[in-house]
Structure 1
Amino acid sequence: MTAFGAVLGLIIAIILIIRKANPAYSLILGAVIGGLAGGVSLPETVNLMISGVKDVTPAILRILTAGILAGILIKTEAATKIAETIVDTLGEKRAILALALSALILTSIGVFIDVAVITVSPIALAIARRLKMSKMAMLLAMIGGGKCGNIISPNPNTIASAENFGASLSSVMWVNIIPAFIGLIATILIANLLVEKGEKVLEIENVEEKGELPSFFGSIVGPLVTILLLALRPAVGINVDPLIALPLGGLVGIVFMGKTAKLKESMEYGLQKMSGVAILLVGTGTVAGIIKNSTLKDVILSLLEKASISDRLIAPIAGALMSGATASTTAGATIASATFSGAILAAGVSAVWGAAMVNSGATVLDHLPHGSFFHSTGGASSMNLEERLKLIPYESAIGFVLALSSFLTYLMIG
């Protein structure tokens, strides 16, 4: 199948998404058009699409069960307690660090990056108002911290990358810890440059009443149990699948917090959040099936070769390109890992590092305006569209630092 067909299908999907069409249906339609335009018959196109969805089915199952942990962290207000504790401990003098670190920790323990930003935003708005800090600096601190946490998290993007490379989820998380730390430093430095730039927070809108928050210890128990279970494989060779480790950690956490009455509500919320991702991944899988069986990857590899770019750079570049096309970390990491895993492994990159570099690359352009993350984070911070657009280059810079750091760390210790 020709590269032209795959590119055309992807472009049509992007245009539809920009025009506010449902992302999953847009991707499915793009896959159909891509297959037909690429010279494949309709029955063959459907078979390739189904094959692509089959490849991401294990990741979808693990992502759905991960909703239990995510739902419990949000609905019991454990995530809010963790964020408040970090901010209170570091103090307002270190506000940028506190906001970035709060978002990093929340995403690293399994909270979606957009949900992490929304969770921390009320605290951030109050601090920004008192310190006369710009909305741009405040939001970039949270987004940058969230991106750093996202590459070391059991979130859908990491699960999909690990699954498509056949790598251990915990190993893919651990190897990006140094890049995440470097990304955090970059976030703090860049956000501090924006403190006086742009609109300030003059008043706080839409502040909800908080219920009684759980203890910090109770809030952190669930994520700690999950991390310990995932760490058993690299530490002692005992493999506890994320399908078990993620929900089990959430269940232990809710028992420790004494909020088992919220279990049903938490599970329903988590399933609702993950269902959207799962449906998006179905659409993503159809496009991945088309791209994987087209000559597009060969064209990209040929261009990289002509540009004298190392084959080992395929992973972060593929992650960045696909995240830009879909404006989604999850969709970008899924398509890139499903399509280019064979070429990346053939270049001598290990499965763990291939997945890790694709995952970090997927943070470079995942915030573009045709994705939901751009709008949800802007809304949470009461930021107007013009200022939200101005933030894109700074977000991309942090994503680039993460991708570059992951690649350099691979060269040193991979």
Structure 2
Amino acid sequence: MESSLIISWWAALCGLAIAIILILKKLNPVYSLLLGAIIGSILGGANLTQVIDILIKGSQSVMGTVLRVLAAGMLAGVMMESGAADTLARTIVNKLGDHLAIFALSLATMVITAVGVFIPVAVLIVAPIALEVGQRMKISKLALLVALSGGGKAGNLISPNPNTIAAAKGFNVELSQVMIADFIPAMFALAMTVIIANWIKAKGNRVQDNDLLNLNAESKDKKLPSLGSSLVTPVIAIVLLLLNPIGSIFHLSFLTAFNLDALYVLPFAAVVGALAMKQGNKLRDYAKAGVSRMTDVVLILIGAGAIGATITSSNLPAEIISLIKLSHVSGVLLAPLSGFLMAAASASTSTGVILATGSFSKAILGFGVSPLAAAAMVHTGGIMLDQLPHGNYFHVTANAMHMDLKERSRAIFYEFLVGSTAMIVATIMYGFLHL
């Protein structure tokens, strides 16, 4: 692309708005983003050759994230398909017992999301357990869903999932650094989840006998791996990812010399874990399942890279900085707000974080926000409204808990409170206290 080309800010904004409107109209998100990028570039004065250059530049900028997301697919495939995630969930709920039922369900969903399982899948795994516990303890389905969804949101902040990878690579920081930075906000989100779910446990419909009739019999009869072998994959992944940060903190050069990236760590942990569970012969199936789950994310990354390149090739970042300075509002707030708005528009944490980092990273860093602080704040902003009805998470979780759309919609506000808690804590910590 010619270095002299600067796209008009209003054209870049039009391109982004067109992409979001098309997503809301249920056009495939990838095509929506590509169309938005093309239209925005043309409106901004780019010729057809320059438009192609912008699209290629955008797709190249996300290739590092794409590779790491595909690597995460291997880990996700092993944890989901082997039954390891199911073992972790059932162990947590059984050990904590009925008197801590809501906390146990929230923690179980948090843990299995944190070890690399997608949040909708995590809810699907824990939902049958939640319905059984809910009927026994007379806890409403509304409270159960908030417990699972809130726990999943907390786990999503500290997981090697695509959203965390996108937040890290969007600001060129290590994945493990973002996971560590968002740990305290995640704990606050978990605490808020438990408080809210206990507060509303008598509100809404109770679990009925027919809700338990169609529980996944396969998961009950399926021979699950032992707890010890199920922990191998997540423990290896976490330990290896933390070697570099620990080395940096304690100035241990032999640890920092390893320079272990998620690209190597996640597939390695997945393979060792599968062998520990004596399921090495199923690795090909696990890999296939994991990659298939990542395909949509990878395609969205390419589309988001295109719209992101359109915006960064424009004077929009500079105009945003000027506008915020004129309004005397703290520029720090652009980080969580961009994550929040993009995730709400796409009803997806991953897509929201990808769009926010690709489109607004330049403007956010322009306010002097450190890359790690920016990644943490954008990421927490991305979990606030990813549960809106135009996304698949809303419908997957409604089906998992046997709720109609009206009943499922009642949980949106409570889930928003959980996400807001994490976002506020992260913004105070990294935006204003500069921890």
TM-score of the aligned structures, taking structure 2 as reference length: 0.91
1:182 to 2:188 alignment: yes
Native 8 Å contact 1:35 1:42 kept in 2: no
Q: Give the root-mean-square deviation of aligned CA atoms.
A: 1.7
Q: How far has the Cα of 1:350 moved from its partner? A: 2.0
CA distance in 2, matches of 1:233, 1:61: 20
Partner residue in 2 for 1:201: 207
Q: How far has the Cα of 1:48 moved from its partner? A: 1.6
SS at match of 2:212: coil
Give the gaps of 5 or more residues in structure 1: none
Q: How far has the Cα of 1:156 moved from its partner? A: 0.7
Partner residue in 1 for 2:230: 219
1:71 to 2:82 alignment: no
CA distance in 1, matches of 2:242, 2:297: 25
Q: 2:314 aligns with which of 290, 294, 303?
A: 294
Partner residue in 1 for 2:329: 309
1:51 to 2:57 alignment: yes
Native 8 Å contact 1:165 1:337 kept in 2: yes
Q: 2:370 aligns with which of 346, 350, 358?
A: 350
Distance 1:7 1:341, change over 3 A: closer
Partner residue in 2 for 1:164: 170
Partner residue in 2 for 1:122: 128
Q: How far has the Cα of 1:44 moved from its partner? A: 2.1
Q: How far has the Cα of 1:351 moved from its partner? A: 1.8
Moved more, 264-273 or 24-33: 24-33
* Cα displacement string for residues 69-97 of structure 1 (whole angstroms, at most 9, x for unaligned residues): 10000111000000000100111221211
CA distance in 2, matches of 1:35, 1:87: 52
Which amino acid letter does the alignment assign opposite residue 38 of structure 1? G
Native 8 Å contact 1:230 1:239 kept in 2: no
Looking at CA atoms only, which structure, 1 or 2, has the larger radius of gyration? 2
Distance 1:30 1:49, change over 3 A: same
Identity level (%): 43
Distance 1:47 1:121, change over 3 A: same
Partner residue in 2 for 1:230: 241
SS at match of 1:204: helix
Native 8 Å contact 1:178 1:409 kept in 2: no
Q: How far has the Cα of 1:14 moved from its partner? A: 2.9
Partner residue in 1 for 2:41: 35
Partner residue in 2 for 1:252: 272
Native 8 Å contact 1:133 1:201 kept in 2: yes
Native 8 Å contact 1:100 1:144 kept in 2: yes
Native 8 Å contact 2:385 2:419 kept in 1: yes
CA distance in 1, matches of 2:341, 2:84: 35
CA distance in 2, matches of 1:59, 1:346: 22
Moved more, 66-75 or 31-40: 31-40
CA distance in 1, matches of 2:67, 2:262: 10
Partner residue in 2 for 1:135: 141
Q: How far has the Cα of 1:306 moved from its partner? A: 4.0
CA distance in 2, matches of 1:269, 1:145: 24
Distance 1:291 1:324, change over 3 A: farther
Give the gaps of 5 or more residues in structure 2: 1-6, 248-255
